[in-house]
Each structure stands twice: as structure tokens, then as C-alpha cells.
Structure 1
Amino acid sequence: RHKLYIWEPLLAIAVVTIIIAAVLILLKDQKKTNACPKCTQLIFRDQKFCPNCGN
């Protein structure tokens, strides 16, 4: 019978955790633009005012 060592499930949990963390970080970085609430023009996060309406 195969004996399951204690580090094998821990390694599997660690790998899954790292993959999930990487996916969440990539999804967070994708949203770099916001929509203006007044005219719905896409603006970058570092812009303080909308280039279309000035809001």
C-alpha cells in the first residue's frame, strides 16, 4: 500500500495557493481604466479629470 507523506498534500495546497494568488494579481492589474460617471468616457486611473467633459 502507498504511504502518503505529510509534505505531499501540503505541497499540493501550496501550489494551488500560488496559482490562485497569481491569477488574482493579474486580474487586479488588468483594470487600469475607469469610466467617467458623467459621460462614460474611459479614463486612466492616474488622470484626475475626464479629458472629454472635464468632470
Structure 2
Amino acid sequence: MVPLLLVLLLVLLLAGAGFALKALWWVAIIVLALWLLGFVIRPTAAGGRRGRWYRW
């Protein structure tokens, strides 16, 4: 009975990790899209130059 419970626990852990990794991939894709949009939609700085949209 204990080995069966351990296998079920392992399956649950791997399934949870797979879901979390898939969710992290979606978050990474959304952040990348926002980052790329930031280069396209940039505010103009003083003098008509295109400014940086980030602070670093």
C-alpha cells in the first residue's frame, strides 16, 4: 500500500510541476510581448528624440 501511495504522490507532484511550468511559460510570453511593445510605443523625450520606456 505504501509504494502505491508514493507513486500516486509522485504523479501528483509531477502533474503540479508541469502545470506550474506551463503557466510560467505563458507568463514569460506575455512579459516578452509587453517588452517588445515597449520598443514600438515609446514616448518622445525633449527635443523630439525617442526616449527610453524603461528606467535602467
Determine which structure has greater relative contact order: mean sequence separation of CA pairs < 8 Å that are 6+ residues apart, divided by chain length: 1
TM-score by length of structure 2 reads 0.56
CA RMSD of aligned residues (A): 2.5
How many correspondences in the alignment? 43
% of aligned pairs identical? 5
Matched, 1:44 2:37: yes
- Structure 1: gaps (5+ residues): 35-42
Partner of 2:54: none
Q: For residue 10 of structure 1, report the CA deviation from its aligned partner.
A: 0.5
Secondary structure of the corresponding residue to residue 17 of structure 1: helix
Secondary structure of the corresponding residue to residue 33 of structure 1: helix
Q: Distance in 2 between matches of 1:49 and 1:27?
A: 21
Matched, 1:19 2:19: yes
Q: Which has the larger share of strand?
A: 1
